[in-house]
Amino acid sequence: MVFILKPDEVRHKYGQLFCKGFLTMVDEEKGIAQIVEKCVSRGPGEWDVVNRKRSGGVIENIRVEGHTLIMDTIIGERELNFGPVSKHVGGQGLSALKVEGDRVRTTWYGIAGATIGIGACIAQCPDVIQTEYPDDFKIGGAHVAHVDIITPKTVRVIIGVDDTDTKEKGASWVATLKMGNSCPVGSFIDHRIIQLNPEVPNKTTNCCSTAASFAVREEDIPALIEYCRDFIRAESYSEDAVMTVFKGLSIPDDLVDFGVRAKTEILDEEEAVRAAEENGVQIISITGMKGVIGAVAAVGCFDMGGEAAGIPEDFR
């Protein structure tokens, strides 16, 4: 038997805690998922990284960026192995992530103080639909406990943008960041500035493209695209602005390769269109087509981390 609490009920029961965001994005075709968990402080995230790595389960990779914890997982179930150290220091792990219609079920186990994180902290996040507790659930102390946290199923959509500005005014990265922050559809996740080849003849000053990512319900993708398209059109000063759209958690290798080449080579629009067509990228002309190279490359470079912001010689 289980009992079910919604986020406001968890907050009433345990008091206000610290989880500010908990989004579950899935890529069912690839059998993978990503969880983005936002906290008020970096410390809990660092502790969670160590303990969730130790326990194994369905988490393939886990990292902290600022106050945000990012977990790359499989869709499925695996055993946890807390190890003998957990008898002394506690532990926490994710044993399963399953898609159930338009919802995602994540199954969490915690030992000692880690039970508070799963049973009271994440569970009261507004992004959560509800949390299912076993009848014998006890929090804190030396207890071992598990919960199932139910969240909306979302997918990741990356919006790439280039050539919204001129030499006199505008900046594509500013327009895209404003777009992400103001977007009423889905949840704005991240923003990147992509440095492209500074030697290309057709550029403004820095030769950068840009992109933003969102967690969005599948049925809301058309509304997201419409909002972003209209926003970029309103913010564009150029007659060459292009927007690209990519759905998924795994960027194809050929698309990454195109993005890397755009940092050192002079490419043409036909190559960009071909790379987009072959790798599931939708191209939307906002005011023209010259921005297509940078807008496609922005998607290809999106998951490169800090290297997206530079050219290869910056990292030698």
Q: What is the pLDDT of residues 30-72, one digit of tens each?
A: 999 999 999 999 999 999 999 899 889 999 999 999 999 999 9
If one compares 148 and 237, the residue with the highest pLDDT of the two is 148
* Burial readout 255-288 (b: 16 or more C-beta within 10 A, e: otherwise): bbebbbbbbeeebeeebbbebbeebebebbebbe
If one compares 48 and 86, the residue with the highest pLDDT of the two is 48
Please give the Cα distance from 168 to 186 (Å, whole number): 33
Sheet of 59-65, strands arranged across: 21-27, 32-38, 68-74, 59-65
Neighbours of 135 (CB within 10 A): 7
Confidence of residue 200 (pLDDT cuts 50, 70, 90): confident
Please give the Cα distance from 110 to 95 (Å, whole number): 11
pLDDT at 203: 55
pLDDT at 88 over 60: no
286 CB contacts (<8 Å, ≥6 apart)? Answer: 164, 229, 232, 233, 236, 241, 242, 243
Domain ranges of the chain: 2-152, 155-315
Please give the Cα distance from 68 to 208 (Å, whole number): 26
Rg for the chain (alpha carbons), in Å? 21
The DSSP secondary-structure symbol of 168 reads S
The mean pLDDT of the chain is 92
The closest alpha carbon to 294, from 197, 214, 177, belongs to 197
Confidence of residue 313 (pLDDT cuts 50, 70, 90): confident
Confidence of residue 140 (pLDDT cuts 50, 70, 90): confident
The closest alpha carbon to 106, from 73, 139, 155, 138, belongs to 73
pLDDT at 86 over 60: no
pLDDT at 316 over 90: no
pLDDT at 21: 97
Q: For a pLDDT cut of 70, what percent of the chain falls above it?
A: 93
Locus of tokens 């369905």: 58
Confidence of residue 195 (pLDDT cuts 50, 70, 90): very high
Q: For a pLDDT cut of 90, what percent of the chain falls above it?
A: 77
Q: In angstroms, how far is the first alpha carbon of the chain from the final one?
A: 58
pTM of the model: 0.94
CB 291 within 8 A of CB 232: no
Q: Where are the alpha helices (DSSP H) in the chain?
A: 7-14, 42-55, 86-89, 114-116, 172-182, 221-235, 253-261, 269-278, 292-300
Confidence of residue 198 (pLDDT cuts 50, 70, 90): confident
Locus of tokens 């983005």: 36
CB 242 within 8 A of CB 162: yes
Please give the Cα distance from 132 to 119 (Å, whole number): 9
pLDDT at 143 over 90: no
Range name among 138-142, 267-271, 281-285 with the lowest pLDDT average: 138-142
Q: Per CATH, which fold does 155-315 belong to?
A: Alpha-Beta Plaits (3.30.70)
Average pLDDT estimate for 231-252: 95
Please give the Cα distance from 175 to 89 (Å, whole number): 46
pLDDT at 152: 98
Confidence of residue 25 (pLDDT cuts 50, 70, 90): very high
Q: Token pair of 286, please?
A: 């906002």
